[in-house]
Amino acid sequence: MSDTHHWQRAVTPAAESEQRHDHYRLLLRQAEALIADEPDLTANLANVAALLYQTLGFWWVGFYLVKEDQLVLGPFQGPTACTRIDFGRGVCGTAWQQQQTQLVANVHEFPGHIACSGDSQSEIVVPIVHNQQVVAVLDIDSARLDDFGPQDKTWLEQLAALLGQHWPETHQA
């Protein structure tokens, strides 16, 4: 994890939290501007994945889209990933099934975790809802244990809500 775009870890947790807050605030404004007038789902998800990856430097950022009874890999940034995830399986499938954000401090302790890579240590998965139905999930993995907290959950749920509002009707689950 020596890439320069990853979080600089030589700061205190309080300073990192404040820095992350500032990054999220800016990121949300940038995401709004990127997707406001763009109707193409793939373009929007690709840009938001890149924005999250470059701004916050997490190990893996991507989307899984609901296709019948599975989540299918969508736009992402990072190493190759699992292509399909069944309903209720792993962190992503659980977020879809429960329609709730999953915040996992240590993925190796999550029952039924799907290990697409051993480098993933913690994970947050946020459902994207359109017309009261989960249409996709935003999945973010970190190479650090316990890297996600309430602040990440709050900001990422706002981002997911924004994406849900701009979800094209032609891409219903």
6 within some domain:
no
42 within some domain:
yes
Q: How many CB atoms lie within 10 A of CB 128?
A: 27
155 within some domain:
yes
The pLDDT assigned to 142 comes to 94
4 within some domain:
no
| Residue range(s) defining the domain that contains residue 31 | 13-168
**Closest by Cα among 54, 72, 43 to 139:** 72
Say which CATH number the domain at 20 has: 3.30.450.40
Count of structural domains within the chain: 1
The pLDDT assigned to 48 comes to 98
Whether 98 contacts 108, CB under 8 Å: no
- In the DSSP assignment, the letter for residue 7 is P
pLDDT tens digits for range 10-37: 455 666 778 888 999 999 999 999 999 9
- Backbone torsions φ then ψ of 81, nearest 5 degrees: -135, 170
8 within some domain:
no
Handedness of CA 8, 95, 169, 41 (dihedral sign): positive
pLDDT tens digits for range 113-172: 777 766 888 999 999 999 999 999 999 999 999 999 999 999 999 999 999 999 997 665
Burial 44-70 (b: 16+ CB within 10 A, else e): bbbbbbebbbebbbbbbbbbbbbeeeb
